[in-house]
Amino acid sequence: QNQAVLRAADEDAAQAGTTLRPVISWILQSQYSDGTPLGETTTNALKLNLDWEIYDFGRTEIGREAAKEAVLATRQALIGVEQGVLLDAVSAYMDVRKAAQDVQNNQTSVRVIGEELKATQDRFDVGEVTKTDVALAEARLAAAKAALAAAKGSLEVARASYKASVGHDSDGRTMLPRHPSLPKSLAEAQSIAVRLHPSVIQAQHQAKAADLQYELALAQKRPSLGLNVQVQQDEDGRDQGAGTLQLSQQLYTGGKRASGERKALAGRDQARSALSRSAVLVQQQVAQAWSGIAVARAQIEAIDQQIVAAQSAYDGIKDEAALGARTTLDVLDAERDLLSAQSGRTQAEASLEVANYSLLAAMGLLTVD
Residue pLDDT, tens place only, 287-337 = 999 999 999 999 999 999 999 999 999 899 888 887 778 888 888 888 889
pLDDT band at 96 (very low <50, low <70, confident <90, very high): very high
Please state the rounded mean pLDDT for residues 101-128.
Answer: 89
CB atoms within 10 A of CB 36: 8
Confidence of residue 159 (pLDDT cuts 50, 70, 90): very high
State the Cα–Cα distance between residues 310 and 100, nearest whole angstrom. 22
**Amino acid, single-letter form, for residue 255:** G
Q: What is the reported pLDDT for 36?
A: 65
pLDDT value at 130 more than 80: yes
- Which tens digits make up the pLDDT trace of 6-29? 999 999 999 988 989 999 999 999
What's the confidence (pLDDT) of residue 192?
96
Question: pLDDT-based confidence at 199, cuts 50/70/90?
Answer: very high
Residues 170-195: tens digit of each pLDDT: 988 888 878 888 999 999 999 999 99
Cα 208 from chain centroid (whole Å)? 23
Q: Which residues contact 109 (CB under 8 A, 6 or more apart)?
A: 144, 147, 148, 335, 339
What does the alpha-carbon distance between residue 292 and residue 94 come to, in Å, rounded to a whole number?
A: 15
Across the range 80-97, mean pLDDT stands at 95
Residue 183 neighbours by CB under 8 Å, 6+ apart: 189, 192, 363
Task: Work out whether the CA dihedral 266, 272, 276, 282 comes out positive or negative.
Answer: positive
> 339 with 109: CB under 8 angstroms?
yes
pLDDT at 288: 95
Nearest to 80 by CA among 278, 348, 276: 278
pLDDT at position 38 over 80: no
State pLDDT tens for residues 219-278. Answer: 999 999 999 999 998 888 888 999 999 999 989 889 999 999 999 999 999 999 999 999
pLDDT at 35: 67
Q: Taking the model in full, what pTM does it have?
A: 0.82
Confidence tier at 283 by pLDDT (50, 70, 90): very high
Residue-level pLDDT at 179: 83
What pLDDT, on a 0 to 100 scale, did the predictor assign at position 116? 86
pLDDT mean across residues, the chain? 92
In three-state form (DSSP H/G/I as H, E/B as E, the rest C), the secondary structure along the chain is CHHHHHHHHHHHHHHHCCCCCCEEEEEEEEEEEEEECCEEEEEEEEEEEEEEEEECCCHHHHHHHHHHHHHHHHHHHHHHHHHHHHHHHHHHHHHHHHHHHHHHHHHHHHHHHHHHHHHHHHHHHCCCCCHHHHHHHHHHHHHHHHHHHHHHHHHHHHHHHHHHHHCCCCCCCCCCCCCCCCCCCHHHHHHHHHHHCHHHHHHHHHHHHHHHHHHHHHHCCCCEEEEEEEEEEECCCCEEEEEEEEEECCCCCCCHHHHHHHHHHHHHHHHHHHHHHHHHHHHHHHHHHHHHHHHHHHHHHHHHHHHHHHHHHHHHHHHHHHCCCCCHHHHHHHHHHHHHHHHHHHHHHHHHHHHHHHHHHHHCCCCCC
Q: Is the pLDDT of residue 37 over 80?
A: no
